[in-house]
């Protein structure tokens, strides 16, 4: 399995310039309590590779998974790759890193 770790600055720049689609795989209640602005929710517990494929195709931006601490996003990469999707990037520091750095959060 191929996994590419992205840091906060790379994610921040991609969100700012509109090139990155941040797919948050935390549960709905976690996403509702606080999220990285511009991220979209797709919980790992109900992960649907075809829905992810459709989202990516409709959106057109570079897809990157994120979660709370960088663990579930790796599981999402594994599930996507098993389904034949060529996805490997995730925000390694995840929401905890974003929040701890004082970056903006939506709720």
pTM of model > 0.95: yes
Confidence grade of residue 96 (pLDDT, cut at 50, 70, 90)? very high
* Owning domain of residue 30: 4-100
Residue 97 CA to residue 69 CA, distance in Å, equals 8
Determine the pLDDT at residue 82: 98
What would the pLDDT profile of 27-63 be if each residue is shown by its tens digit? 999 999 999 999 999 999 999 999 999 999 999 999 9
Determine the pLDDT at residue 68: 99
84 is a domain residue: yes
85 is a domain residue: yes
Q: What is the CA radius of gyration of the chain?
A: 12
Residue 7 CA to residue 4 CA, distance in Å, equals 10
107 is a domain residue: no
CATH of the domain at 96: 3.40.250.10
């Amino acid at each position: 399995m191929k996994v590419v770790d992205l840091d906060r600055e790379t994610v921040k720049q991609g969100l700012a310039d509109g090139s990155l689609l941040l797919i948050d795989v935390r549960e709905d209640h976690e996403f509702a309590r606080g999220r990285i602005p511009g991220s979209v929710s797709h919980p790992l517990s109900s992960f649907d590779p075809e829905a992810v494929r459709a989202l990516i195709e409709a959106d057109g931006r570079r897809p990157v998974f994120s979660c709370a601490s960088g663990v579930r996003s790796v599981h999402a990469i594994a599930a996507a790759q098993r389904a034949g999707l060529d996805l490997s990037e995730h925000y390694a520091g995840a929401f905890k890193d974003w929040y701890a750095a004082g970056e903006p959060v939506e709720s």
